[in-house]
Amino acid sequence: MQTPQEFVTLSRWFHQDFDWGHETGEQAVEAAISNANLSVAQLNVVSAYLDELLSGKYNDEELERIWRKAGAEISILTEEEGNAAGFFRGLRSMIDATARRSAH
The neighbour count for residue 85, using CB atoms within 10 Å, is 18
Whole-number pLDDT of residue 28: 87
The answer to whether the beta carbons of residues 78 and 25 sit under 8 Å apart is no
State how far the Cα of 14 lies from the Cα of 63, in Å rounded to an integer. Answer: 15
Predicted local confidence at residue 70, as pLDDT? 97
pLDDT of residue 104: 61
Confidence at residue 73, expressed as pLDDT on a 0 to 100 scale: 93
Please report, in tens digits, the pLDDT of each residue of the chain (104 residues total). 799 999 999 999 999 887 678 788 788 889 999 999 999 999 999 999 999 999 999 999 999 999 999 999 999 887 665 689 999 999 999 999 988 887 66
